[in-house]
Structure 1
Amino acid sequence: MEKKRTPKNIFVEGAISPDKIAKSIANHSTKTDIGGHSIFLGQVRADKKEEGSVVAIEYTAYEDMALQQAFEIREAIFAKYPLTCMHIYHSLGEVKTGEICLFVFTSSKHRKAAIDACEELVERIKKELPIWGKEILDNEKSEWKVNT
């Protein structure tokens, strides 16, 4: 009987710490059937705009819908690629420039599946999840970010 998957909480309050990333990688060293990992780290950029420079992004989400949609995306990616593991973490709240706001980690027996799945996963997260970022500028103004 196959274990039924349930939605996992993908949200982290604030920036995703380097310790969390390192621990996640280290936790996979005992899984000796894995031959490749692919990792994407989204980092807040210090974009320069007419109105000022970005110093942080404040992330908000329609959490229940985002968790359900993330679950559906995970299931579709697991069905499409022969993955061993998949992890998604996205920040909520304020994340300063230079800090990590998105951590996607896929693992597979062979690198190509991990790489392709990771890339598709990141694209779908950016397009489909109801997560919004308000850019905080150095002049204390803010504006909603448009995903590209």
Structure 2
Amino acid sequence: MNKPIKNIFMQGAINPSFIADSIAKHASKKDIGAHSIFLGQVRADVIEDKTVVAIEYTAYENLALQKMHELREELFTKYDLSCMHVHHSLGKVKAGELCLFVFTSSKHRQTAINACEEIVERIKAELPVWGKEIFEDQSHQWKVNN
């Protein structure tokens, strides 16, 4: 049976209350011993004397969702995970706001930590998602991932 492809994209910033609610929903899952969470936040970088005030995220959504589905399946095979949740912003996210939320759960902490770290790195390297840095003067440039 093929698992359905999950939509990881959300419009705008990821609200901290959404994250808290996601964590709270796991209290009833008594076989989980560890969670690892990564939160990506937009920085107010200064580039050539201009400050980033927001990043506008775009994606080739169908391809990104298919790739994320493949990554999810691969990591569930590689690690003994109870669950994995990934949420990525699309649209404009202001400096200081959250744009990526990755949440892995397992029986043991090292498994959750390793899976979380790997999925974050692979999302950055393999998903067709792009960020356009918007400066205070409304000029912009494509962001280089680092």
* TM-score bin, normalised by smaller chain: over 0.9
Q: Which runs of 5+ in 2 are unaligned?
A: none
Distance 1:135 1:69 in 2: 24
Stretches of 4+ moved more than 6 A in 1?
Answer: none
Please state whether the residue corresponding to 1:28 is helix, strand or coil: helix
Structure 2 matches for 1:1-148, cutoff 5 A? 4-148=2-146
Q: Which runs of 5+ in 1 are unaligned?
A: none
Report deviation, 1:140.
1.1
List per-residue Cα deviations over 1:9-41 (Å, max 9, x = no partner): 000000000011000000000001000000000
Report deviation, 1:51.
4.9
List per-residue Cα deviations over 1:80-136 (Å, max 9, x = no partner): 000000000000000000000000000000001000000000000000000000000
Distance 1:140 1:131 in 2: 21
Distance 2:121 2:108 in 1: 21
Please state whether the residue corresponding to 2:27 is helix, strand or coil: coil
Q: How many residues align?
A: 146
Residue 11 of structure 1 aligns with an amino acid whose one-letter code is: F
Length-normalised TM-score, structure 1: 0.97
Between 45-54 and 11-20, report the one with greater CA deviation. 45-54
- Aligned-CA RMSD value: 0.8
